[in-house]
Amino acid sequence: MVDPHFTRPCKRDLLKKLSPDRAVIEKALADAGIADLRAVVLSHTHYDHALDAVETCRLTGATLVGSQSAYFLGMGANLPSSQLRLVQDGDCLSLGDFQVTFFASRHILLSRLFNMVSGMHREIEHPIPVPAYFWQYREGTVFTLFVQHPHKRFLISSSAGFFANKPPPLKVDISILSMGGMMLKSDAYLAGYLQQMAINMGAQRVYLSHWDDFTTPLSSSLQWMPGGHRTIKRFIHSAQGTGLAVEVLPYGQEIEA
């Protein structure tokens, strides 16, 4: 599982200290038919990616896998060291039939205020006890994930940013790309992101993630981020003529690929 986010605190609660909601996580796992996991992988450690990660590991026995910042989150919430796995750029991890390779990447940058409040380019430098304020969940190292399986190869980019170094020569069948923040970026940025993370890798299909307002609960209908519909159309327009199919990643549904 990558970046589980089930608690989804509402906007007015973001000024308070946040805690994962165990009951909400349990229900989400049960609804998905998940009784145990081998690993919970964090692409980075902003709260909307990392808030529920430790509790998900605690409930399922999974190992928390991520950067030093992710390691400190696990320590702060008293996750046993046997369930913590530190990874760095270029590391490759085998998980059953899956092989996950971690590539250092950049997070999409927005306004100066947003970048400051959300801890862009900053690490979590010590264990953080729960509850904690959302701004304590600093970005940490950002990873793009290359996942190989005997039947498919796919890329997961959860930060809508580019590779930090020279793009690796990967070949994938599917790219799962974050569109969070893309509504505030130019068409040239969007096209470049799609080119690097999908077209250049031979992807046949793109699923767009991070499209909803993650401050609304899962118990209600998911709401689009402002400008989301228009951003989807921009992705589809940028993919025209490439043979690349672009779809929205649905929540709670199995996908046959």
For helices 53-60 and 22-31, angle between their N-to-C axes, nearest 10 degrees = 60
Query: Is residue 208 one of the residues assigned to a domain?
Result: yes
Mean pLDDT of 92-113: 94
Mean pLDDT of 59-78: 97
Percent of the chain with pLDDT over 70: 100
Q: Is residue 257 over pLDDT 80?
A: no
Q: Which CATH number do you get for residue 131?
A: 3.60.15
Query: Is residue 255 one of the residues assigned to a domain?
Result: no
Q: What share of the chain is helix, strand, coil (3-state, %, to 5)?
A: 30, 20, 50
Query: Is residue 153 one of the residues assigned to a domain?
Result: yes
Averaged confidence pLDDT in the chain: 96
252 falls in which pLDDT band (50, 70, 90)?
confident
pLDDT one-digit tens code per residue, 134-189: 999 999 999 999 999 999 999 999 999 999 999 999 999 999 999 999 999 999 99
Question: Per the structure block, which two tokens stand in for 83?
Answer: 């369930």
* Structure confidence at residue 117 (pLDDT): 86
246 falls in which pLDDT band (50, 70, 90)?
very high
- C-alpha 219/C-alpha 9 separation (Å) is 12
pLDDT one-digit tens code per residue, 40-66: 999 999 999 999 999 999 999 999 999
Query: Is residue 64 one of the residues assigned to a domain?
Result: yes
- C-alpha 192/C-alpha 185 separation (Å) is 11
Question: Per the structure block, which two tokens stand in for 45?
Answer: 């450690």
Query: Is residue 3 one of the residues assigned to a domain?
Result: no
Query: Is residue 201 one of the residues assigned to a domain?
Result: yes
Q: Is residue 23 over pLDDT 80?
A: yes
Query: Is residue 112 one of the residues assigned to a domain?
Result: yes
- C-alpha 16/C-alpha 76 separation (Å) is 18
Burial code of 202-241, b = ≥16 C-beta within 10 A, e = fewer? Answer: ebebbbbbbbbebeeebeeeeeebeebeebbebbeebbee
Mean pLDDT of 17-45: 95
How many domains would you assign to the chain?
1
Query: Is residue 240 one of the residues assigned to a domain?
Result: yes
CB 39 within 8 A of CB 65: yes
Mean pLDDT of 224-252: 95
* Structure confidence at residue 61 (pLDDT): 96
For residue 154, the enclosing domain spans 11-248
118 falls in which pLDDT band (50, 70, 90)?
confident
Mean pLDDT of 200-219: 96
